[in-house]
Structure 1
Amino acid sequence: MATTFVPEKVDRVRDAKFKEALHGKDATKKQGFFAAVSKNADAQKAAVDEYFKHWDNKKPSNETEDDKKQRLEEYASLTRHYYNLVTDFYEYGWGTSFHFSRFYRGESFKQSIARHEHYLAYKTGITAGMKVLDVGCGVGGPAQEIARFTDCNVVGLNNNDYQVERATHYAKKLGLADQLSFVKGDFMQMDFEKESFDAVYAIEATVHAPSLEGVYGEIYKVLKPGGTFGVYEWVMTDQYDESIPQHREVCYGIEIGDGIPKMVKIDVARDALKAVGFEIIHEEDLASRPDDVPWYYPLTGEWKYLRSLSDLVTIFRTSWLGRQVTMKSVGLLERFHLAPEGSQKVTEALEEAAVNLVLGAKLGLFTPMMLFVARKPL
């Protein structure tokens, strides 16, 4: 039985003021590592406290049902503060497209990321002139690529003011302002007109929802009849068994390090799509393909797969060694008050996520690319 959630009220004035307090009036002047360690100390502490109150002094063996319920009820603030804390680290290590991808031998990191986005656009049937919604658009990397690839028009929806500002800045900088727009909003209570989009996609974003049925229902509502929704969903596989301590520890590590209220299994996503009225026309776990290069190789830093000198810096930063360098550097800066308090704690959570993402993949418990393509009936 689906759980009923009451979405948090979107307080635009509060969120805008907090963004300015944390990042400054112009959130586009700094980026990457420098931006990550240059946040306002008081605002950083508030964000750290609000996010980690869901995880401090807790672990899989002692978390209560009330703990889980609170994370689900406060999904919006949890996700918003998570990205207040990690967006700059993401851009520093990964670029502007915050998602994983499959790799072919000899393929560069950026090529792989772009191809993964192109493939979703292709499977979703996005073509020139379409009005398309990107649910949980991050700082706009996928929207940029899909708009250029298909010549469509993309509206990006995001509940984090900082990311909306950065996405808008990048669109203008790249000359894509006529095709791209980014708006602040909650994907559990969309403000768009009903049946106003030709297609909708989401890339590793709806995992932040407290209820997939809730967010899929909102997508169904704003999609035109006959329109298509394509999603790369983060889910636990059918092999996942929450009663097995190791399995739950892996899942919990992913949740705490990636700002996720509660991970679910593949069947929950499949059932949610059907429950709101979608017809599933294609589904596949792309991570289960027998690829020579695993999707998680950037997190492991397995240099044998590196085929491009241009990727050397990226793969080093995302590898275990690179993450240790970042974490220790941030800790040292924090110690000498050159980075705001809590910065190292954020990098430690990201490290926990990385370790458990790889372990979850190797154990066959997790996939970041469960592809569903679903159609809204005419």
Structure 2
Amino acid sequence: MNQVSAFYTGPGGLVGAIGSALDAAGVDRTRLRPADLAPVDEFHIRGRRATLEIIEALALTADSHVLDLGSGLGGPARTLAELTGCTVTGVDLTPEFCQVATALSEWTGLSGRTRFRVGDATATGLPDKSADAALTMHVAMNIPDKHALYAEAFRVLRPGGRFVVYDVLQGEGGEVHYPVPWAADSSTSFPATLEEMRELLPSAGFNVVSEVDSSDESLVWFQQMLAKIQREGPPPVTFATFLGDDFAQMTANQVANLAERRIRTIMFVCSRPS
């Protein structure tokens, strides 16, 4: 297991921990919907709201096959499948994440339209032009070779297909305060700058349709999360389930990182030329 996968792997039994937290919160697992899991499986800044923006940008139909590079616990994949009827293949480096994602899809009745496989987002092994759309959310910060990531997305995407990148970028305000939800320190953290992204995506072959900076909204989102944690403690089912005791410090650091413009959150909507 490499350093990145090790960072995201909890001390044990993540499926059981999430199930116990749901039970403790009084959630009926026989009636579980993807939105019920959003506090833990929409593991990205601005949560489910950001996923809904990505769905709109991808312009999916029930016939679409979508590739999620770095699929985590599968929250975005399930939301896409539930709301559009599409099918999603998720690829993630962390075996436990794929196990949990599979279990949560079973709990929500979406195992028929979502599947998760352990793999490298820069070399998935999937066939050329096999996906109608692709996305990656908060993944490239852990990947030093970003050209390989975007080249792989281009290879697997059919001509005319859309690719959405929603990521944390290096801001102009200085080095990132650690720990953060994607890294304990700079040894596994490689956020690109906006200028680098504007070169990387076209160099992989994509047309960039739009870029949207949501950094101000991200700051408000983290401020509200931090205030709630300070007021009430962590919610029963949240990212803290696998991030552990550093979760509150990570949240505080993210408030500082965004307020000081050390990081930015930007969504790029791209297309592979027809």
Please indicate the TM-score interval, normalised by the length of the shorter structure: 0.7 to 0.9
Higher percent of residues as strand: 2
Contact 1:208 1:259 in 2 (8 A): no
How big is each residue's C-alpha offset from its partner over 1:157-200, in whole Å with a ceiling of 9 and x where there is no partner? 11111111111111112111111111110112111001100000
- Does residue 357 (structure 1) correspond to residue 235 (structure 2)? The answer is no
Rounded to whole Å, the distance in 2 between the matches of 1:322 and 1:257 is 25
Q: What's the offset of the Cα at 1:362? A: 0.9
The answer for the alignment partner of 1:104 in structure 2 is none
What one-letter code is carried by the residue in structure 2 that aligns with 1:80?
A: S
Q: What's the offset of the Cα at 1:351? A: 4.4
Rounded to whole Å, the distance in 2 between the matches of 1:252 and 1:265 is 18
The answer for the alignment partner of 2:222 in structure 1 is 296
| Matched residue SS, 2:184 | helix
Rounded to whole Å, the distance in 2 between the matches of 1:253 and 1:175 is 35
The answer for the alignment partner of 2:233 in structure 1 is 322
Q: CA RMSD in A?
A: 2.9
* TM-aligned CA distance change 1:359 to 1:86, over 3 Å: farther
The answer for the alignment partner of 2:270 in structure 1 is 374
Runs of 4+ in structure 1 displaced over 4 angstroms?
86-93
How big is each residue's C-alpha offset from its partner over 1:131-153, in whole Å with a ceiling of 9 and x where there is no partner? 00111111111111111111110
How big is each residue's C-alpha offset from its partner over 1:329-375, in whole Å with a ceiling of 9 and x where there is no partner? x9xxxxxxxxxxxx9x9624x444323211011112212x3100011
What one-letter code is carried by the residue in structure 1 that aligns with 2:260?
A: L
* Structure 1 segment 45-84 matched on structure 2, within 5 A: 77-84=2-9
Q: What's the offset of the Cα at 1:257? A: 5.8
| Matched residue SS, 2:220 | coil
* TM-aligned CA distance change 1:258 to 1:230, over 3 Å: farther
* TM-aligned CA distance change 1:351 to 1:257, over 3 Å: farther
* TM-aligned CA distance change 1:192 to 1:365, over 3 Å: same
Paired positions, count: 246
TM-score normalised by L of structure 1 = 0.59
How big is each residue's C-alpha offset from its partner over 1:294-313, in whole Å with a ceiling of 9 and x where there is no partner? 12124421xxxxxxxxxxxx
- Unpaired segments ≥5 residues, structure 2: 22-37, 235-240
1:143 paired residue among 77, 100, 122: 77
Q: What's the offset of the Cα at 1:252? A: 4.7
Contact 2:4 2:188 in 1 (8 A): yes
The answer for the alignment partner of 1:132 in structure 2 is 66
Larger deviation: 116-125 or 130-139? 116-125
The answer for the alignment partner of 1:268 in structure 2 is 196
Contact 1:257 1:353 in 2 (8 A): no
Rounded to whole Å, the distance in 1 between the matches of 2:66 and 2:60 is 8
What one-letter code is carried by the residue in structure 2 that aligns with 1:262?
A: F
How big is each residue's C-alpha offset from its partner over 1:265-324, in whole Å with a ceiling of 9 and x where there is no partner? 1222221111111110010111246x9x812124421xxxxxxxxxxxxx43xx48736x
- Unpaired segments ≥5 residues, structure 1: 1-14, 16-76, 102-112, 241-246, 302-314, 324-329, 331-342
How big is each residue's C-alpha offset from its partner over 1:222-247, in whole Å with a ceiling of 9 and x where there is no partner? 1111111012111122x23xxxxxx2
* Structure 1 segment 1-378 matched on structure 2, within 5 A: 77-85=2-10, 88=14, 94-101=39-46, 113-237=47-171, 239-240=172-173, 247-248=174-175, 250-254=176-180, 255-256=183-184, 260-288=188-216, 294-301=220-227, 315-316=228-229, 319=230, 322=233, 347-348=245-246, 350-367=247-264, 369-378=265-274
What one-letter code is carried by the residue in structure 1 that aligns with 2:273?
A: P
* TM-aligned CA distance change 1:258 to 1:184, over 3 Å: farther
Contact 1:287 1:295 in 2 (8 A): no
Contact 1:212 1:269 in 2 (8 A): no
Rounded to whole Å, the distance in 1 between the matches of 2:84 and 2:189 is 34
Rounded to whole Å, the distance in 1 between the matches of 2:132 and 2:199 is 23
Larger radius of gyration: 1
Larger deviation: 118-127 or 219-228? 118-127
Rounded to whole Å, the distance in 1 between the matches of 2:107 and 2:127 is 29
* TM-aligned CA distance change 1:100 to 1:320, over 3 Å: farther
Rounded to whole Å, the distance in 2 between the matches of 1:206 and 1:356 is 19
* TM-aligned CA distance change 1:169 to 1:253, over 3 Å: closer
